[in-house]
Amino acid sequence: MDDGSAPEVDDWAPFGRPLFDSPGARALTRVGVVDVGSNSVRLVVFDGAARSPAYFFNEKVMCGLGAGMADTGRLNPDGKARAMVALKRFALLAKGMGAAPLTAVATAAVREAEDGPAFREDVLRETGLRLWVIDGTEEARLSAQGVLLGWPGSYGLVCDIGGSSMELAELQDGEVGKCVTSPLGPLRLAGVKGGKSGRRKTVKAEIDGLRATMGEQSDRLFLVGGSWRAFARIDMERRGYPLAVLHEYRMSRKDVRATAALIATSDMEELRRATGISETRASLLPLAAPVLTTLLDTFKPHDIAVSSYGIREGMLYEQMPRDLRDRDPLIEACRFAEAKDARLPGFGRTLHNFIAPLFEGRGPDHYRLVRAACLLHDVTWRAHPDYRHEACFDLATRANMAGLAHRERVFLGLALLHRYKNSRSGTRFEPLFGLLSEKEAVAAEQLGKAMRFGAMFSGQDAERMGRLSWSSRRKCLSFHLADGTADLFGEVAQARFQALADSLGAKKTEIAHPS
Q: What is the mean pLDDT of residues 302-327?
A: 89
Q: Which residue has the higher pLDDT, 190 or 26?
A: 190
In terms of domains, do 203 and 279 share one? yes
Contact predicate 252/304, CB 8 Å = yes
- What is the tens place of the pLDDT at every residue in 276-296? 999 989 999 999 999 999 999
Range scoring the smallest mean pLDDT among 119-133, 250-264, 447-461: 447-461
- What is the tens place of the pLDDT at every residue in 446-477? 999 999 999 988 777 777 788 999 999 999 99
Give the pLDDT band (50/70/90) at residue 484: confident
Residue 157, pLDDT score: 97
CA 178/CA 157 separation, integer angstroms: 10
User: Average pLDDT, whole number, for the chain?
Assistant: 90
In terms of domains, do 76 and 193 share one? no
Contact predicate 56/32, CB 8 Å = no
Q: Which residue has the higher pLDDT, 457 or 358?
A: 358
* Res. 359: pLDDT tops 90: yes
Residue 21, pLDDT score: 54
Residue 126 lies in a domain: yes
Contact predicate 244/220, CB 8 Å = no
Rg of the chain over all Cα atoms, to the nearest angstrom: 26
Phi, psi of 59 (to 5 degrees): -135, 135
In terms of domains, do 148 and 63 share one? no
Residue 260, pLDDT score: 98
In terms of domains, do 121 and 149 share one? no
Instruction: Work out whether the CA dihedral 323, 328, 330, 335 comes out positive or negative.
Output: negative
Residue 247 is given by DSSP the state: T
CA 304/CA 156 separation, integer angstroms: 10
In terms of domains, do 345 and 284 share one? no
* Tally of structural domains, the chain: 3
In terms of domains, do 110 and 218 share one? no
Residue 22, pLDDT score: 58
Residue 321 lies in a domain: no
Q: Which residue has the higher pLDDT, 368 or 3?
A: 368
From 106, 133, 160, the end of a domain falls on 133
In terms of domains, do 156 and 253 share one? yes
Residue 391: which of 429, 423, 425 has the closest Cα? 429
Residue 400 burial (CB count, 10 A)? 13
- Which residues, including other chains, have CB under 8 Å from residue 361's CB and lie 6 or more apart? 4, 5
Residue 206 lies in a domain: yes
Range of the domain at 452: 335-512
Residue 329 lies in a domain: no
* Res. 412: pLDDT tops 90: yes
461: domain CATH number is: 1.10.3210.10
Contact predicate 284/271, CB 8 Å = no
In terms of domains, do 308 and 339 share one? no
Residue 322 lies in a domain: no
In terms of domains, do 128 and 146 share one? no
pTM of this structure = 0.88
225: domain CATH number is: 3.30.420.150
CA 29/CA 9 separation, integer angstroms: 30
From 83, 105, 133, the end of a domain falls on 133
Residue 457, pLDDT score: 86
CA 156/CA 158 separation, integer angstroms: 7
- What is the tens place of the pLDDT at every residue in 363-404? 889 999 999 999 999 999 999 999 999 999 999 999 888 889
- What is the tens place of the pLDDT at every residue in 167-221? 999 999 889 999 999 999 999 999 899 999 999 999 999 999 999 999 999 899 9
Residue 453 lies in a domain: yes
Residue 153, pLDDT score: 86
Residue 12 lies in a domain: no
Residue 1, pLDDT score: 34
In terms of domains, do 257 and 400 share one? no
Residue 3, pLDDT score: 40
In terms of domains, do 287 and 347 share one? no
Residue 8, pLDDT score: 41
Residue 240 burial (CB count, 10 A)? 7
Residue 319, pLDDT score: 81
Residue 493: which of 506, 476, 507, 479 has the closest Cα? 479
Q: Which helix (H) or strand (E) holds 60?
A: strand 54-62
In terms of domains, do 249 and 291 share one? yes
Residue 320 lies in a domain: no
Give the pLDDT band (50/70/90) at residue 6: very low
* Res. 513: pLDDT tops 60: yes
Residue 63, pLDDT score: 94
- Which residues, including other chains, have CB under 8 Å from residue 113's CB and lie 6 or more apart? 65, 66, 69, 73, 74, 75, 119
From 133, 165, 185, the end of a domain falls on 133
- What is the tens place of the pLDDT at every residue in 41-71? 999 998 755 677 678 899 999 999 999 998 8
Return the half-sphere exposure (C-beta side, CA atoms, 13 A cut-off) of residue 359: 30
85: domain CATH number is: 3.30.420.40
